[in-house]
C-alpha cells in the first residue's frame, strides 16, 4: 500500500487520471509533429524533383563546327547551304539522302539564325577559319543531358542508330558541350522545344497582375474603408457583406465565364489580352481583398478612433489619418496574398482565350498574351519529351515568383507596422 503522506499534492500521482491525460497530450503532440514532418518531406520531394528536372531547361547542348571562309563564299552566304556542308564535313559516313537528312536533324531549329547572326557580325572580313558552337536538336539535347550510351548498351530514345553513332563520335571528339541558355527566359513560345521560352508568358503575367493589383488594391481597400468606417449597419449593408463573403468562395472558373459574357461578348474587348485577363482576376480577388482589409481595420483598437474624434478630428480625418495607417500593413499583406492566388490561376484565363498559342511576347496590355500557369498547362500537354523539362523550368520560375510575392508581403508588413 502506497504511503499517501509522501505524495506531493501537486504531482501526477495525486490526481486521478492525470497520467492518462499527459499520455494523450504526448500522443497528440507526436502526431502533430509527424504530420508537419510528413508535409515538409512531401514539399521537399516536390521542390527537389521539379528543380532536378527543371534546371536542364536553363541549359542547351551545342555542337562545335570548324568553318572555312571558302565555304561561305561558295554558298554565297546562304546559311542553310553552309549548315549542310558543315554537317557533311564534320560527321563520318554522311552518304545518301536519308543519311544527310538524319545528320541535319542533329541541329536545332535556330542554328540557321545563329549562323546568320555570326556571319553578319563578321561583315565583309570573315576569318579564314573560325569555330562556332551551334545548338543541337531537342532529341540530341535530351540524349546528351541524360547520358549517351553505345549501340551495345541499347537504343537512345529519340535518336536513330546512325544519329546515336554520330552523337558518340561528337562526344569523343569533344564537339559537344552544355551551356547556359538565357533564351528560356527571353524567348516566346514555339512549336520547336529548343526555341520555346517563357519570355512571353512572363510579360503577360506582369501586365495581367499589374492591372489586377491596381484595381484590387484601390477599389478593394476603399470599399473596405467605407463598409467598416462610414456605412450604416442596416439590412442593405448586411446583404452586401453576406454576398462579398459568398463571392470569396465562388470557384474561379465562374469568374472566367463572367468575364467572357461581359468583357468579350458585351463590350467587345480584345480576346486573349492582358487587359481582359487582369479584369477577370480583379473580379476574382476583389472579395478577398475587401475581407482582409476589413479584418485589418477591425484590428485597430477603438480607443484610436475615440481619441481622434475627441480631439476634434472629422470622421474622414480619423479614418485616413489615424486608422488606415495602422491597418495598412494588414491591407497590403491581404492584397499581395490575393495577387499570389491570382498568379497561380488558370481556369478563368482559359475561358477568355488566353490558352491560345502566342509566339511573340506582348508589347502592351491589348496584345494577345498568356501567363505562366497557362504556359505550364500548354507544355504539360505536349507529346514531345523536351517540353517536360520546359514545364518543370516554368514551374520553378512560378514558384520563385510566389515566394518573392509572399516575401514582399512580409517585408511590407514589417516596414509599415506601428506599435500602439
pLDDT at res. 1: 47
Q: Is residue 306 within a helix (H) or strand (E), and if so which, with residue range?
A: helix 302-310
- Reported for 248-253, long-range contacts at CB under 8 A and 24+ positions apart, including other chains, are 248/287, 248/288, 248/291, 251/347, 252/284, 252/345, 252/347, 252/348, 253/347, 253/348, 253/350, 253/351
The model carries a pTM of: 0.83
Q: What whole-number distance in Å separates Cα of residue 83 and Cα of residue 72?
A: 10
Question: In 3D, which of 328, 321, 320 has the Cα closest to residue 299?
Answer: 328
Domain formed by 199-416, architecture: Orthogonal Bundle (1.10)
pLDDT at res. 30: 93
pLDDT at res. 27: 92
Domain with CATH 1.10.3720.10 in the chain: 199-416
Cβ(365)–Cβ(275) below 8 Å: yes
Question: In 3D, which of 215, 187, 192, 216 has the Cα closest to residue 202?
Answer: 187
* H helix runs in 157-198, sequence order: 161-172, 183-186
pLDDT at res. 187: 87
Q: What is the DSSP letter of 63?
A: E
pLDDT at res. 386: 83
Q: What angle do CA 354, 376, 408 make, to 5 degrees?
A: 90
pLDDT at res. 95: 86
* Residues of the chain scoring pLDDT < 70: 1-16, 151-152, 154, 418-420
Cβ(253)–Cβ(351) below 8 Å: yes
pLDDT at res. 152: 66
Q: Is residue 133 within a helix (H) or strand (E), and if so which, with residue range?
A: strand 129-135
pLDDT at res. 9: 57
CA 180 to mean position of chain CA atoms: 20
Q: What whole-number distance in Å separates Cα of residue 248 and Cα of residue 290?
A: 10
Amino acid at each position: 500500500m502506497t504511503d499517501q503522506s509522501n505524495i506531493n499534492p501537486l504531482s501526477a500521482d495525486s490526481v486521478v487520471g492525470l497520467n492518462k491525460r499527459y499520455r494523450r497530450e504526448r500522443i497528440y503532440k507526436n502526431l502533430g509533429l509527424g504530420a508537419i514532418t510528413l508535409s515538409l518531406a512531401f514539399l521537399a520531394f516536390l521542390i527537389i524533383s521539379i528543380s532536378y528536372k527543371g534546371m536542364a531547361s536553363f541549359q542547351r547542348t551545342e555542337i562545335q563546327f570548324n568553318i572555312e571562309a571558302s565555304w561561305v563564299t561558295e554558298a554565297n552566304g546562304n546559311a542553310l547551304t553552309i549548315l549542310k556542308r558543315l554537317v557533311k564535313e564534320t560527321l563520318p559516313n554522311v552518304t545518301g539522302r536519308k543519311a544527310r537528312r538524319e545528320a541535319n536533324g542533329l541541329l536545332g531549329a535556330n542554328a540557321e539564325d545563329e549562323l546568320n547572326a555570326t556571319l553578319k557580325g563578321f561583315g565583309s572580313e570573315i576569318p579564314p577559319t573560325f569555330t562556332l558552337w551551334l545548338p543541337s536538336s531537342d532529341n540530341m539535347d535530351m540524349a546528351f543531358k541524360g547520358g549517351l550510351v553505345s549501340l551495345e548498351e541499347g537504343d537512345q530514345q529519340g535518336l536513330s542508330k546512325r544519329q546515336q553513332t554520330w552523337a558518340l563520335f561528337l562526344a569523343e571528339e569533344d564537339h559537344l558541350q552544355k551551356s547556359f541558355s538565357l533564351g528560356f527566359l527571353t524567348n516566346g513560345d514555339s512549336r520547336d522545344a529548343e526555341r520555346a521560352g517563357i519570355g512571353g508568358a512572363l510579360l503577360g503575367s506582369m501586365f495581367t497582375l499589374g492591372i489586377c493589383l491596381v484595381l484590387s488594391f484601390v477599389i478593394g481597400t476603399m470599399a473596405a474603408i467605407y463598409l467598416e468606417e462610414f456605412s450604416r449597419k442596416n439590412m442593405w449593408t448586411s446583404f452586401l457583406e453576406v454576398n462579398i463573403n459568398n463571392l470569396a468562395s465562388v470557384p474561379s472558373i465562374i469568374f472566367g465565364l463572367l468575364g467572357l459574357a461581359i468583357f468579350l461578348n458585351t463590350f467587345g474587348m480584345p480576346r486573349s489580352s492582358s487587359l481582359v485577363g487582369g479584369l477577370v482576376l480583379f473580379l476574382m480577388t476583389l472579395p478577398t481583398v475587401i475581407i482582409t482589409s476589413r479584418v485589418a481595420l477591425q484590428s485597430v483598437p477603438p480607443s484610436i478612433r475615440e481619441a481622434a474624434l475627441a480631439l476634434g478630428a472629422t470622421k474622414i480625418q480619423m479614418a485616413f489619418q489615424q486608422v488606415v495607417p495602422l491597418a495598412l500593413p494588414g491591407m497590403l499583406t491581404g492584397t499581395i496574398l490575393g495577387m499570389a492566388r491570382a498568379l497561380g490561376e488558370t481556369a478563368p484565363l482559359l475561358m477568355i482565350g488566353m490558352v491560345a498559342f502566342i509566339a511573340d511576347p506582348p508589347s502592351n496590355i491589348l496584345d494577345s498574351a498568356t501567363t505562366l500557369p497557362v504556359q505550364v498547362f500548354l507544355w504539360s500537354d505536349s507529346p514531345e519529351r523536351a517540353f517536360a523539362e520546359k514545364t518543370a523550368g516554368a514551374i520553378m520560375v512560378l514558384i520563385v515568383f510566389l515566394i518573392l510575392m509572399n516575401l514582399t508581403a512580409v517585408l511590407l508588413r514589417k516596414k509599415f507596422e506601428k506599435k500602439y
